[in-house]
């Protein structure tokens, strides 16, 4: 039998419990504030030394006495890899979401969406391992080399020797990693579209595709954009798989030019160079500074995405009304 105290507790227990819960809830806010404070103080030396040229410069030299740091190639590299990943991932994810919400027979829906969600559960480092020793070779032989042979060195984006450790491989693996994120949220959003919208279109004689195009998409547009931006947020911050595949160029060489050249992203340079950076030096401050930039970028992306998604999917709102 469950025992429920009726009078044994003092008048204040309720208050204390509520305050305890409020403190636990506030913890998240405190962490965000602490992240900002720590990253700003930790990266202060680099801002003092480099100023705004830390954002715009491309030198990356950690030799003592000639130290110079510029993060521009990595910022650009982050957006290029994430952008290519979005270009591949968003159409495929939207297709998957459409299949799962509109077309798939009832029997298949749950197992299929479970399988898609399992893709999201695979740890990033295993994507990296698989990309490095399996996927890279297929990509190199079947896609990169033919493209390189067709377009040759004169075309800018396909120039360079296709070796597999480059921006293209990293972007494709990133695309695979963001597909489950985008498709599961998009599916939720499409399921939130009222059936009356679909029925109205069916009544006019629309085919499944026309129902999707004329009834579902206009209704869920902002949510679908939000889902894509959430995928962008994940692509921007993804570390391990990119670190293992992007090729790790530094300095001006890391400016993304050709798809088949090594690049570098903000997250990957932090993971790569951390072991070499001495504690307390300018090098580590530069890496923390990149962390601060990544923090601001990710915060902005995630906030926009959540505002857009929340407008469509209302289920995660409010508390219990007593």
Partner 1 sequence: MITVEQRAEFRKHFRYNVNRRLLVDKIVKGVVFGCVVIAIIPLGSILVEVFTNGSAALSLEFLTQIPGAVGTGEGGIGPAIQGTIVLIGMSSLIGVPVGVMGGIFLSEYGNNRYGRTIRFFNDVIAEFPTIVIGIFAFVMIVLTVGNFSVWAGTFALSIIMLPIITRTTEESLKLVPITYREAGFALGIKRWAVITKIILIQAKSGLVTGILLAVARVAGETAPLIFTILGSSQFMSGFDGPIDALPLRIWRLSSLPYDSAVAQGWGAALVLILIVLSINIGVRYVLLRKHRGSRFKMFRGAQ
Residue of the chain from 167, 188, 250, 254 that contacts partner 1 (CB under 8 A): 188
**Least distance between partner 1 and beta carbon 28 (Å):** 5
1, 29, 63, 150: which one binds partner 1 (CB under 8 A) = 29
The residue range among 57-65, 107-115, 152-160, 196-204 that interacts with partner 1, by the rule CB under 8 A, is 107-115
**Judged by CB under 8 A, which stretch of 47-55, 142-150, 230-238, 250-258 contacts partner 1?**
230-238
Q: Which helix (H) or strand (E) holds 96?
A: helix 72-98
260-279 residues in contact with partner 1 (CB under 8 A) are 267, 270-271, 274-275, 279
Residue 24 in the binding site for partner 1 (CB under 8 A): yes
Residue partners of 45: CB distance under 8 A and separation at least 6: 282, 285
Q: Whole-angstrom distance between the N-terminal and C-terminal Cα of the chain?
A: 26
- Per DSSP, what are the bridge partners of residue 61? 68
311 near partner 1, judged by CB under 8 A: no
Instruction: Let me know: does 226 contact 305? Beta carbons within 8 Å.
Output: yes
> Which residues between 46 and 65 bind partner 1 (CB under 8 A)?
none
E strand map for the chain = 60-61, 68-69
CB 313 within 8 A of CB 188: yes
- Name residues contacting partner 1, limited to 66-85 (CB under 8 A): none
Q: State yes or no: residue 105 binds partner 1 (CB under 8 A).
A: no
225 binds partner 1 (CB under 8 A): no
The answer to the question of residue 321 lying near partner 1 (CB under 8 A) is yes
Which letter, b or e, does each residue of 114-128 get, where b requires 16 or more Cβ atoms within 10 Å of its Cβ?
eebeeeeeeebeebb
Residue 282 makes contact with partner 1 by CB under 8 A: no
> Is residue 4 a contact residue for partner 1 (CB under 8 A)?
yes
CA-wise closest residue to 241 among 309, 317, 299, 175: 175
Residues 138-167 that bind partner 1 (CB under 8 A): none
Within 8 A by CB and 6+ apart from 315, the residues are 192
- The single residue among 71, 176, 249, 259 that binds partner 1, judged by CB under 8 A, is 176
Cα–Cα nearest to 79, from 303, 294, 307: 294
The correct pick among 18, 153, 204, 252 for binding partner 1 (CB under 8 A) is 18
Identify which of residues 166 and 188 has a Cβ nearer to partner 1 in the complex.
Answer: 188
Tell whether residue 287 is a contact of partner 1 (CB under 8 A): yes
């Amino acid at each position: 039998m469950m025992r429920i105290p009726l009078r044994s507790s003092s008048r204040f227990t309720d208050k204390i419990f509520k305050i305890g819960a409020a403190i636990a809830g506030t913890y998240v806010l405190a962490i965000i504030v602490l992240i900002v404070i720590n990253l700003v103080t930790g990266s202060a030396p680099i801002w003092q030394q480099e100023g705004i040229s830390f954002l715009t410069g491309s030198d990356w030299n950690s030799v003592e006495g000639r130290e110079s740091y510029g993060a521009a190639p990595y910022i650009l590299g982050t957006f290029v890899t994430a952008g290519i990943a979005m270009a591949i991932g968003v159409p495929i994810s939207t297709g998957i979401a459409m299949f799962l919400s509109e077309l798939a027979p009832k029997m298949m829906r749950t197992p299929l969406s479970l399988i898609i969600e399992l893709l999201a559960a695979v740890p990033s480092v295993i994507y990296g391992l698989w990309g490095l020793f399996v996927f890279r070779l297929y990509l190199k032989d079947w896609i990169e080399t033919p493209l390189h042979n067709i377009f040759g060195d004169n075309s800018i984006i396909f120039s360079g020797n296709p070796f597999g450790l480059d921006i293209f491989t990293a972007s494709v693996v990133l695309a695979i990693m963001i597909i489950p994120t985008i498709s599961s949220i998009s599916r939720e959003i499409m399921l939130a579209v009222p059936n009356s919208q679909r029925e109205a279109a069916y009544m006019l004689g629309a085919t499944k595709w026309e129902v999707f195009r004329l009834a579902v998409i206009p209704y869920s547009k902002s949510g679908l954009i939000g889902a894509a931006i959430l995928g962008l947020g994940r692509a921007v911050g993804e570390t391990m798989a990119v670190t293992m595949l992007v090729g790790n160029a530094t300095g001006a060489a890391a400016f993304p030019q050709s798809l088949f050249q090594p690049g570098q992203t903000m997250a990957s340079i932090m993971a790569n160079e951390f072991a070499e950076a001495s504690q307390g030096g300018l090098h580590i401050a530069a890496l923390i500074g990149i962390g601060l930039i990544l923090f601001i970028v990710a915060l902005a992306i995630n906030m926009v995405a959540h505002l857009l998604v929340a407008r469509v999917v209302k289920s995660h709102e409010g508390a219990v009304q007593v």
